[in-house]
Structure 1
Amino acid sequence: MASDGGVFPRPINPGERIDAIDVLRGLALLGVVAINVVNEFRVSIFEQFLSQKPAASPIDSIIETILVLAVEMKALALFSLLFGAGLAIQFERLANSERRTSLLIRRLAVLLAFGLIHLCLIWNGDILTEYALAGLIVLPFLFGPRWLLAIAALAFLGLYLAMQAFPPTGLFPSTATIAQHVADATRIYATGGFLDVLAFRLREIPLIVPLHAFIFPRTIGLFLLGAFAWRVGLLQNAPGRLLWIAAPCIGLGAALILSGAEALGTILLALGYAAAIIGIANLRCGKKLLGWAAPLGRMAFTNYLAQSLIFGWIFYGYGLGLFGRLGVTSALAIGVAVYAAQVLFSAWWLGRCRYGPVEWLWRTLMYGEAQPMRQTA
């Protein structure tokens, strides 16, 4: 590959990474695992919209309530903030390259291709497709000043909050349609073969698209907010400032959620989580306490896709067929066990290789040539 104006574009070296951001990504993945395994692999994603749900044990009810209040939507919000910051980091690193725009577009196009494959062939709870499309919208804003990022973030988050307060009519199917779909999902996902599950998964996509449309402005807004946080230096070794930000965000966010203002409370709580974790991870004691999550965060793409394959085999009919048969506690225990195994595997893998397998492929396709994989001394 020829150099661009004297600059040779390349992926960031592992030694140049900001460990605190990888720690946050690794911990956010735990929240994503918990919600995905409980709400989207264990049962139909649409069961949560039914007023009549199957009876649950007291412990299941307690755990589900904790997940809803403290984790659900907050983990994805953390990933959105991180994706926006990562996009801004890439944009900054390629500042002297004539190919900056084309490389970033290719990066998002490759992500879109991964997302569509994941969505159609593996699991339709995919978030990669939405992130790729949101990234393409956010990319032009990165050419502007910091104030533009801040105003655009507030505008998109304001649109999201307005949609929560005044939901668009006709966006979601009727309760009867959802109930019938949940019954079909329980039967087919639990007992169907791979082709049966694949066909039903594809039929589900038109029902899932409105769910993404409903949070799409929030995703864009959080991308912009993450990019803004990077631009103003909040994510670069500023534990004191971040911990001062964390306390009011967590406190106010929790109060809003408990009072019923869940949409705004979720955003503030996610901001508080991010500030607290990055702030603590930048402290000496925090590095010892949370450092185990950094390898997992460096391989978040690989681990996310691996979770879909593993949980698909555990819950769908072409594997163990546990869909609809487990309670919240049992499913969460499986999710935590898979997560713990990935923590160990990620540390082992990155002791030998520079990137996770999917991260390596993503970078290779982005830059147009095979990247070095083996770890060197």
Structure 2
Amino acid sequence: MAYSPASSGPISPAERIDAIDVLRGIALFGVMAINIVTEFRVSIFAQFVSYPSPESPVDRAVEAFLSVAVELKAFALFSLLFGIGLAIQFDRLANSGRRVLLLVRRLTVLLAFGLVHLCLLFNGDILTEYALAGLIVLPILFGPRWLLAGAALVSLALYLAMQGFPPPGLFPDRARIWYQVVEATRIYPTGDFLDVLAFRLRELPFIFPLHVFIIPRTIGLFLVGALAWRIGMVQYPPRRLLFIGLPCIGLGLALILAGLEALGTIVLALGYAAAIIGSARLPRGARLLGWAAPLGRMAFTNYLMQSLIFGWVFYGYGLGLFGRIGAASALTIGVAVYIGQVFFSSWWLRRYRYGPVEWLWRTLMYGEPQPMALSSTPQPTSA
């Protein structure tokens, strides 16, 4: 069933968004787990040079599990979700003469948030890349579904080709990467905020090639998400989504274990998305997974909040645990923060329409204050 703003479907729009928010809330756990284990705890480049860090058999088991089942898959899920969300906004603004202006403003504001986050808090930021990829994808949304499908295939094929044939000169040599890891291990756990900030800015030229390498996949998955919304796949009967999702999960894991990690990650992310959305739309699944919906509705706020908290935990202006604890201990801290965010998000959304950052984003997008308290009357621009 193709979606249109006035179409009816097997479930209401609110229920569809609830299922998407459940997926977003669960995907946020995966992003948190990878960020805290591989980027806040140690240098992001340590994985490329096998730099030693505190490890036990439990730590190695945690790292192995995250590598196979979560690493890059959570980010791929977020890319799919961003594409779905962008297509929803695009279609719902179809009758607005300001559609392009509003969506460009939305992505430009996101870019500003991303640059601040990237420079001041965490150079593993994904918001900047998502804003730039969104600006590339936006014109394609005016085209028919075959154009979305073709552009998605081209982008994903380019990403897969780059795995075997990376652009020459894109990545720095091993010695320069090793030096960055050594410097990170020296500065991050002991430096004050300005020391950490200065080093983070010096790391940016080394971070940039990673985004260049991954952005074709991001664009491709944005388009896959938009296409899934356009063809009504998100609105498929839940059991059909499970029928699609579970075999994709099995195939994705098999591809990863067979050494085809880039392709397997994409297939596994698609499987996760279909299985979780399908489960969340079943009565029992909605009861079991409903806790994740408030977290997903406030994913922007929670993502930035994690950077604030983890920066204080691992950097020298806080507890200075960078490079001093293993993966299992770091993940335990992350799980504790995540659980706290589950309760905080539920508490907040019983009182307000949006998370605080989500409210600011919408307000800047529409150019006028949006209603915040649940008792306030929604404005027409809030559609």
User: If the TM-score is normalised by the length of the shorter chain, which range does it land in?
Assistant: over 0.9
Q: Match of 1:351, as an amino acid?
A: R
1:92 and 1:108 map into 2 onto residues whose CA distance is: 16
Indicate the residue corresponding to 2:380 in structure 1. Answer: none
Deviation at 1:19, TM superposition (A): 0.5
Contact kept, 8 Å, 1:237 with 1:282, in 2: the verdict is no
Which letter maps to 2:59?
D
Give the structure 1 partner of residue 185 of structure 2: 186
The aligned counterpart of 2:369 is 370
Shift, 1:52, TM fit: 4.9
Question: Residues 89 and 230 of structure 1 are in contact (CA less than 8 Å); yes or no, is this contact kept in structure 2?
Answer: yes
Deviations 1:295-343 (A, max 9, x none): 0000000000000000000000001111000100000000000000000
CA contact (8 A) 2:41 2:330 kept: yes
User: Partner of 2:381 in structure 1?
Assistant: none
Are residue 346 (structure 1) and residue 338 (structure 2) matched? no
Comparing 31-40 with 237-246, greater Cα deviation is found at 237-246
* Alignment correspondent of 1:151: 150
| 1:261 alignment counterpart | 260
Q: CA offset at residue 161 of structure 1?
A: 0.2
Give the Å deviation of 1:166. Answer: 1.2
Aligned equivalents of 2:269, 2:262: Cα separation in 1:
11
Hey, what does 1:199 align to over in structure 2? 198
Q: Per-residue CA shift, 1:57-93, capped at 9, x if unaligned? A: 1111011000000000000000000000000000000
CA deviation string 1:219-265 (max 9, x = no partner): 00000000000001111252122111112211111111001000000
TM-score normalised per structure 2: 0.93
Amino acid at match of 2:360: L
- Answer yes or no: is 1:39 the counterpart of 2:52: no
Q: How many residues align?
A: 364
2:330 maps to 1:327? no
**TM-score, L = length of structure 1:** 0.95
Q: Are 1:56 and 1:327, in contact at CA under 8 Å, matched by a contact in 2?
A: yes
- Could you list the runs of 5+ residues in structure 1 that have no partner in the other structure? 1-13
Please give the secondary structure, in 1, of the residue aligned with 2:234: coil
Q: Taking structure 1 as reference, are residues 88 and 156 closer, same or farther at Cα in structure 2, changes over 3 Å only? A: same
- Distance, in Å, in 2 between the alignment partners of 1:249 and 1:26 is 21
Q: Structure 2 counterpart of 1:106, which letter? A: R
1:169-248 to structure 2, matched below 5 A, reads: 169-236=168-235, 238-248=237-247
The percentage of counterpart residues that share the same residue type is 74
| Structure 1 residue matching 2:351: 3-state secondary structure | coil
For the Cα contact (< 8 Å) 2:249–2:267, is it kept in 1? yes
In the alignment, structure 1 residue 88 sits paired with structure 2 residue 76: no
> Is residue 290 from structure 1 mapped to residue 289 from structure 2 by the alignment?
yes
* Alpha carbons 1:153, 1:221 under 8 Å: kept: yes
Q: In structure 2, what is the Cα distance between the partners aligned to 1:301 and 1:83?
A: 11
Partner of 2:355: 356
| Structure-2 residue corresponding to 1:104 | 103
Q: Which residue of 2 aligns with 1:66?
A: 65
Q: 1:311 to 1:374 in 2, by over 3 A?
A: same
- The one-letter amino acid paired with 1:229 is A
1:241 and 1:204 map into 2 onto residues whose CA distance is 46
**Alpha-carbon distance between aligned partners in 2 of 1:241 and 1:228, rounded to the nearest angstrom:** 17
Instruction: Please give the alpha-carbon distance, in whole angstroms, between the structure 1 residues aligned to 2:244 and 2:317.
Output: 47
Are the counterparts in 2 of residues 118 and 126 from structure 1 also a CA contact under 8 Å?
yes
The gaps in structure 2 that reach 5 residues or longer are 1-12, 377-383
Q: String of CA shifts for 1:197-217, please: whole Å, max 9, x gaps.
A: 000000000000000100000
**Does 1:115 find its partner at 2:114?**
yes
Does the residue aligned with 1:352 lie in a helix, a strand or coil? coil
Tell me the distance in 1 between the aligned counterparts of 2:324 and 2:299.
Answer: 29
2: CA distance, partners of 1:131 / 1:321: 30
- The answer (yes or no) to whether the contact 2:53–2:323 under 8 Å persists in 1 is no
> Aligned partners of 2:336 and 2:50: how far apart in 1?
31
